[in-house]
Structure 1
Amino acid sequence: MKGKVILTAAVTGAGDTTEKNPNVPVTPKEIADSAIESAKAGATVAHIHARDPKTGGISHDIDHYREIVDRIRESETDVVINITSGGGGDFIPSLATPAAGGEGTDIQTPEERHRPVGELLPEMCTLDCGSTNFGNMIYVSPTDWLREQAKLIQQSGVKPELECFDTGHLRFAKQLINEGFIDGDPIFQFCLGIPWGAEADAETMLYMKNRLPENAHWSAFGIGRMQMPIAAQSALLGGNVRVGLEDNIYLRKGVPATNEQLVDKAVTMLEGHGIEPMTPDEVREYLQLRNPSGGK
């Protein structure tokens, strides 16, 4: 157990959650404001997806990302910005069009997925380290595409957070390290409880933790009701913590949450174990972040 941890707020995601919780931020202003309020509550990293302001669904529009990032950077509240590079990876199986996929299929090239990271130069970005069954959808992230994305991220100077939704993703993330695509000490994120990825339990977390490189940093999150139990378990095992409406939309059963409420709940939980969140500057030093944009 460490005395200080990184506390990430994943403020919106791309899932179909807006109708279930009116607090899920949708517009660039709402997403930026929620990231700022989360930082004020104690989060030191804001993980960012963009949504379409008209539909509430996923957006790849660089202008949406730019407005979110600019609003956060121009605010008086400091927070490390972490943009998704997951982009369009959704393949919807269809018996009618098996090769092309069905309605809702949304596939981007590695270059397209990287564009918000490459143009806006956040301090961090996520890198989804493999394909997976994601409910009844397939998230597509082939190994050669991942190599290309990792190379683009490396060239940009942004720190990748290596997201592992299953144990095979962890194996390939280590392969990226072995092939020289990851600079400095790597940071891994164990994404637990996604149907049908790795289980959200202590045994799975320990299995993955015990297979990390010696110089690795790591974090873990659970979805739904497992958000806080996994956050607590991760902190107690020496990992970092992620909460937020991307992964869980309830404060407690039947009560819609806000991002700042979930962050505050995590801070209180950590304090109960004698742990506190790092400051943004402490995270920058801890992860040796470079910020090519010249922002905070």
Structure 2
Amino acid sequence: MISEVFITCAVTGGGDAPRQKNVPVTPEQIADSAIEAARAGAAAVHLHVRDLTTQEGSLDPALWRSVVQRIRQSDVNPVLNLTTGEGCGIVVGGPEAPLPLATGTWMASLRERLVHIEELRPEICTLDCGSKSSKGNVEGVMVNTVGMLRAMAARCKEIGVKPELEVFDTGHVVLANDLVKEGLVDGVPLYQLCMGTGNGAPPDVSTLMAMVNLLPPDAVYSAFSVGPMQLPYAALSPLVGANIRVGLEDNLYLSRGRLATNSELVRRAVEILERMGVRVMSPDQMRDKLKLKVHA
């Protein structure tokens, strides 16, 4: 068990267009929700942006610029953790004719996936360490080749942005470990154990511990589960040495039938942790722990 943790709030995902009104979509909504989450106790905010017409995930630099500037000009100073996970999906044509690829395929270049990171220089950006079949679209696949991941990690190292190594199964941990061994990640490696995602690692404790046991001894890591296991994971994570992630990207509800806001999920996580005697870290304490480079 660890006695202090940082909380990351995953404000809005980049997957299917939101069907619930509590999910922020516009740059103003996303930024304001992130600011509220930071005031509630989140040391870091993990961000996606959404296309204003389709509401799907986007890599538009103007949207990113609007969100990040609004947060940086606020009275809070959370660690900014921006996704690089858009533009890595293919949809095959089906079992009888996989090719040509179907509508919905979006494979972006290295430059496109990192354009907002290059410009805005957050302290952290995510790096999805592997490929995974989609649950929502039975012919869809999240595709992250070893070559792409090496190139992305190398560029993040060059510009001084720490990658958060997102792992969705045990094999992803092995791949992430290889990036660390190859010297593509500076300093203390940071992992995110993503549990309960479609066709990824299930959220049971045995699977979680299998992933924890594969991590390097000096790793700092967080764990979360999607859906109703999100808040139980706020209690479980410190017991296995992990930091916390909550937020509407992973779970829409505060309790059965009760839609949440990001700040409410953070406050509930803070309450759980304080009742366990676990101290919640500030953004600057998180920065110090991870030796993050502040660019702005």
TM-score, normalised relative to structure 1: 0.96
Contact 1:9-1:263 within 8 A present in 2 as well: yes
| 1:235 equivalent in structure 2 | 238
- Superposition deviation, residue 233 in structure 1: 1.1
Match of 2:201 among 198, 202, 213: 198
Residue 102 in 1 paired to residue 105 in 2?
no
One-letter amino acid of the counterpart of residue 61, structure 1: D
| 1:77 equivalent in structure 2 | 76
The range that moved more, 103-112 or 257-266, is 103-112
Counterparts of 2:90 and 2:242 in 1: how far apart (Å)? 32
DSSP 3-state at the match of 2:118: helix
Contact 1:17-1:24 within 8 A present in 2 as well: no
Root-mean-square deviation (CA), in Å? 1.2
Counterparts of 1:215 and 1:151 in 2: how far apart (Å)? 20
Contact 2:193-2:224 within 8 A present in 1 as well: yes
| 1:28 equivalent in structure 2 | 27
Counterparts of 1:64 and 1:36 in 2: how far apart (Å)? 17
Q: What runs of 5+ residues in structure 1 fail to find an aligned partner?
A: none
Contact 1:220-1:230 within 8 A present in 2 as well: yes
One-letter amino acid of the counterpart of residue 67, structure 1: S
| 1:92 equivalent in structure 2 | 91
Contact 2:13-2:47 within 8 A present in 1 as well: yes
| 1:276 equivalent in structure 2 | 279
One-letter amino acid of the counterpart of residue 169, structure 1: H
Matched-pair identity in %: 46
Counterparts of 2:36 and 2:279 in 1: how far apart (Å)? 18
- Superposition deviation, residue 97 in structure 1: 6.5
- Aligned pair count reads 292
Counterparts of 1:2 and 1:204 in 2: how far apart (Å)? 20
Counterparts of 2:266 and 2:179 in 1: how far apart (Å)? 32
Counterparts of 2:234 and 2:249 in 1: how far apart (Å)? 14
Query: Residues 12-161 of structure 1: matches in 2 within 5 Å?
Result: 12-16=12-16, 18-19=18-19, 21-95=20-94, 98-135=98-135, 136=138, 137-161=140-164
Match of 2:224 among 203, 221, 224: 221
One-letter amino acid of the counterpart of residue 197, structure 2: I
Deviations, residues 195-215 of structure 1 (Å, cap 9, x unaligned): 101111111111111111111
Deviations, residues 63-108 of structure 1 (Å, cap 9, x unaligned): 1001100000010111100000112011112138733421211111
Residue 171 in 1 paired to residue 179 in 2?
no
- Superposition deviation, residue 237 in structure 1: 1.5
Counterparts of 2:16 and 2:177 in 1: how far apart (Å)? 32
Counterparts of 1:237 and 1:88 in 2: how far apart (Å)? 33
DSSP 3-state at the match of 2:50: coil
